[in-house]
Amino acid sequence: MRLILFFLGGFMLANLVVAGSSMIRPQAHEQQRMFRDANKSAPAPWTANERYIEPTRKNARRSALDALAMPLAVACSSTGRAQIVDALAFYYGQRARSGASMPKPGARTAAASPRRPGPPPTTAASSG
């Protein structure tokens, strides 16, 4: 009789383990799928202001190309040279600013490296 009860107990325990693991795995898989889908639709953090930056970038590019495409007779005058210099300065200034705001390759962003919890920084008390 003990032997039968032992086998029945083992059988029930095995069923509980299988049922428990089969309930956990689909839920974890569903969470992974939801996370993956959410990350596909989310824009990259550095492109958040792209819709504001792009018109300025196009305007700078267009003004630089227009200044370089002007006829030589106009480009050789003092106002023509000033237009070319201003347009190129604006274009390269925009490029420098947009390049400075982009993350460097391989750099860790704030989202990628969470702040580790710890004690707040202490300041040295002045005695005097």
Q: Would you tell me the crossing angle of helices 50-69 and 78-101 to the nearest 10 degrees?
A: 150
Query: Between these two residues, 61 and 124, which has the higher pLDDT value?
Result: 61
Q: What is the pTM of this model?
A: 0.46
Provide the residue type at 62 as one letter.
R
- Furthest CA-CA distance within the chain: 112
Distance CA 80, CA 67 (A): 8
Q: Convert 2-29 into a string of H (helix), E (strand) and C (coil).
A: HHHHHHHHHHHHHHHHHHHHHHHHHHHH
86-125 residue pLDDT tens: 999 999 998 888 777 666 666 665 555 555 555 555 655 5
